[in-house]
A and B are shown apart, each in its own frame.
Chain A
Amino acid sequence: MKRVKDEKLLVAQLKDPDTQEQAFRNLMSLYKERLYWHIRKIVLSHDDADDVLQNTFIKVFKNIHSFKENSKLYSWMYRISTNEAITFINKKAAKQHVDISELQHKMVNNLQEDINYSGDEIQQLLQKAIFTLPQKQQLVFNMKYFDEMKYTEMSEILETSVGALKASYFHAVKKVEEFLKLH
Chain B
Amino acid sequence: MKRKDLHTIAPKLSEISLKKTGFEIPKNYFKSIEDAVIAELKAENFLKKGTKEVFKTSENYFDFIEDIVIAKLKAEAIQNNKETTIPENYFQTIEDKVLAEIRTTPKVISLKSRFIKFAAPIAIAASLLLVFVLNKNSTTVTFDSLASSEIETWIDNGGMDIDALSIVSIYPDIELNNEIYSASLSDEEVLEYLNEEYLDEIIFEN
Do chains A and B stick together as partners?
yes
Asked whether A177 and B9 contact (CB < 8 A) given A17-B48, A20-B47, A24-B38, the answer is yes
Please state if A123 and B47 are interface contacts (CB–CB under 8 Å): no
Beta-carbon nearest neighbor of A37 in chain B: B23
Q: Is B20 an interface residue (CB 8 A)?
A: yes
Beta-carbon nearest neighbor of A53 in chain B: B33
Please state if B21 and A173 are interface contacts (CB–CB under 8 Å): no
A124 to B26 CA separation, bound complex (whole angstroms): 20
A38 to B15 CA separation, bound complex (whole angstroms): 22
Tally A residues with Cβ within 8 Å of B.
46
A19 to B13 CA separation, bound complex (whole angstroms): 47
Please state if A126 and B16 are interface contacts (CB–CB under 8 Å): yes
Q: Is A113 an interface residue (CB 8 A)?
A: no
Please state if A181 and B12 are interface contacts (CB–CB under 8 Å): yes
Per-position binary interface string of chain B over residues 163-201, scored 1 when its CB falls under 8 Å from any chain A CB and 0 otherwise: 000000000000000000000000000000000000000
Q: Is B90 an interface residue (CB 8 A)?
A: no
Q: Is B65 an interface residue (CB 8 A)?
A: no
Q: Is A32 an interface residue (CB 8 A)?
A: yes
Asked whether A62 and B46 contact (CB < 8 A) given A54-B40, A166-B1, A169-B1, the answer is yes
A54 to B34 CA separation, bound complex (whole angstroms): 9
Please state if B30 and A36 are interface contacts (CB–CB under 8 Å): yes
B residues in contact with A169, CB < 8 Å: 1
Among B19-40, those with CB < 8 Å from A are: 20-26, 29-30, 33-34, 36-38, 40
B residues in contact with A32, CB < 8 Å: 30, 33-34
Tally B residues with Cβ within 8 Å of A.
31
Per-position binary interface string of chain A over residues 41-66, scored 1 when its CB falls under 8 Å from any chain B CB and 0 otherwise: 10010100010011001100110000
Please state if B21 and A119 are interface contacts (CB–CB under 8 Å): yes
A121 to B23 CA separation, bound complex (whole angstroms): 13
In-complex Cβ contact of A40 among B3, B23, B36, B41 (8 A): B23
Beta-carbon nearest neighbor of B9 in chain A: A173
A148 to B24 CA separation, bound complex (whole angstroms): 20
Beta-carbon nearest neighbor of B11 in chain A: A177
A residues in contact with B46, CB < 8 Å: 58, 61-62
A175 to B107 CA separation, bound complex (whole angstroms): 109
Per-position binary interface string of chain A over residues 125-137, scored 1 when its CB falls under 8 Å from any chain B CB and 0 otherwise: 0110000000000
A50 to B3 CA separation, bound complex (whole angstroms): 30
B residues in contact with A148, CB < 8 Å: 3
Can you report 17 residue pairs joining A to B where beta carbons are below 8 Å apart?
Answer: A21-B47, A28-B33, A36-B33, A50-B29, A53-B33, A54-B40, A58-B44, A61-B41, A62-B46, A116-B26, A117-B22, A120-B22, A123-B20, A173-B6, A173-B10, A176-B10, A177-B12
Given contacts A29-B34, A119-B21, A174-B9, 8 further A-B contacts (CB under 8 A): A25-B34, A46-B25, A50-B33, A58-B37, A118-B22, A120-B22, A177-B10, A180-B10
Show the binding face of B for A, using Cβ within 8 Å.
Answer: 1, 3, 6, 9-13, 15-16, 18, 20-26, 29-30, 33-34, 36-38, 40-41, 44, 46-48
